Amino acid sequence: MQIDTQANVIQALESKRADAAAVDLSTVRWMVARDPNRYADAGKKWFSMLYSAAVRQGDQDWLNFVNTTFNVAMYGHQNELYDGAFKEFFGLDAPTRTPGFPSI
């Protein structure tokens, strides 16, 4: 069946209208980390998934703050913030960061 939102996909799964569901990887990992006896990751995935935060259009100060916060948490000197959240919500260790230029 085709369902309009991920929340409704989970509801279909919970109400047993569906036996399995395909949702984004972060949602699967979050659900498995919260209740591993109820949910399972089949290990299937496609393409990388990008995530973002939204700010009010034209609010450059807030946009700069959010971008800086994400960059510092993920790549800067406060990796423990990002790594802790990654572990808490996804039940996994954050990917290892490799310093230097990306490979070509």
The DSSP annotation for 43-87 comes to S---S---------TT-HHHHHHHHHHHHHHHHSS-HHHHHHHHH
* Same domain assignment for residues 14 and 62: no
**Averaged over 7-12, what is the pLDDT?**
93
* Same domain assignment for residues 68 and 34: no
* Same domain assignment for residues 72 and 44: no
* Same domain assignment for residues 56 and 103: yes
* Same domain assignment for residues 5 and 45: yes
**Averaged over 31-53, what is the pLDDT?**
82
* Same domain assignment for residues 61 and 34: no
Q: Are 90 and 26 a contacting pair, CB within 8 Å?
A: yes
* Same domain assignment for residues 79 and 93: yes
**Averaged over 7-22, what is the pLDDT?**
92
**Averaged over 31-50, what is the pLDDT?**
83
pTM of the model: 0.55
